[in-house]
Amino acid sequence: MREGPDNIRVSIVVPSYSRPNMLEEAIRSILSQTYEDFEVIVVDDGSPKPLKNVIDKISDKRVRYYRLDKNKGANVARNAGIDKATGNYIAFLDDDDRWEQSKLEEQVTVLDNNPNIGFAYTGQKFVDETGKVIKTKIPSQSGDVKKYLLRGGYIGGFSSIMLRENLISIAGKPDPELPILQDTEWWLRLSKKAHFTPIEKPLVIRRMGDYQQIGDKYEQLRDVAYPKVYNKHKQMAADEGIVYKLLFKSYLLNYIGSLALSKGRSNDAREYLLKSWLCNPFSVDSALRFIISLGGSRMYHKIRAIVNKLHPKRKR
């Protein structure tokens, strides 16, 4: 247990890069929480124009600001924040996300009342630039989630989680060398050391918009993240049986193929979705995506829009 100033219970790490308006909204959603025993650690990931004026404007002693000397990536910023944290629980908020007011209180209550649980995560609402809810994801997996994660189960991003500080000491911090799959890889490591529990409410608000550049990382997913994550955790998958090793590989290949399809790389999409399907011939998802890839990205986007309209709320 860490002994920080006034025995702070929760440390909230907020990595940010050149989005002052979103950062201010994110911080204000923290300061509006019903649970108030926290510190906020904002890590400026080398923004060309420093973000300190946002913190000065907010003027709350619970909010601390640190600046990296250059842009090093979100996980480097998160890890810098973890190193500065003094709380017994650690949470994260990406600068383009926001929290509902009860988010911290509900997670702290669950962890306080269940010492056998190391990791609590919430549901999420995805909104467009106007604030309209596009879809909602509600979690349901609890306990030992290793098999769930290996077959591609969804936990959510960094903004939805809270974990015990000592769990980071055991499992390690997020991998700073990964350009994508940063959260997935860390969840896999953490799942080997702790049980997870869901809070079945959408307490995180995530923006979906053109400013997000995940699609630009397709080559980094294919050439860097995929081989690293697979090689790092294939033994974990094998320990659960040969079926889970194939399911794990199928999940990652499906991710590559789906991202390729969404970015109009139809040939690449067909290649990786077929490989995914061959690893798991019973995967309806891989089969359907492969068939859709034969029609190109236009067909993919049309079908995805229809599915989102018919099924805006998903329980995972």
- What are the backbone dihedrals phi and psi of residue 92, each rounded to the nearest 5 degrees, phi first? -135, 150
**Stretch 205-214: mean pLDDT:** 69
> For residues 170 and 167, what is the distance between their CA atoms, to the nearest angstrom?
5
- Interval 110-134: pLDDT, tens: 999 999 999 999 999 999 989 999 9
pLDDT digit string, tens, across residues 40-67: 999 999 999 999 999 999 999 999 999 9
pLDDT of residue 208: 85
pLDDT tens digit sequence for 73-86:
999 999 999 999 99
Q: Would you state the pLDDT for residue 307?
A: 56
Closest by CA to 39, choosing from 58, 6, 23, 62, is: 62
Domains of the chain with CATH codes: 5-207 (3.90.550.10), 214-315 (1.25.40)
Confidence of residue 214 (pLDDT cuts 50, 70, 90): very low
Q: What is the model's pLDDT at position 289?
A: 87
Q: Mind listing the pLDDT tens digit for each residue in 229-257?
A: 999 999 999 999 999 999 999 999 999 99
Q: For residue 212, what pLDDT band results from cuts at 50, 70 and 90?
A: low
Q: In the prediction, which pLDDT does 1 show?
A: 43
User: What does the pLDDT read at residue 161?
Assistant: 99
Q: What is the pLDDT of residue 264?
A: 87
pLDDT score of 316 more than 70 = no
In angstroms, the CA 295 to CA 159 distance is 35
Query: What is the model's pLDDT at position 129?
Result: 87
pLDDT at 217: 86
Please state the pTM of the whole predicted model: 0.90
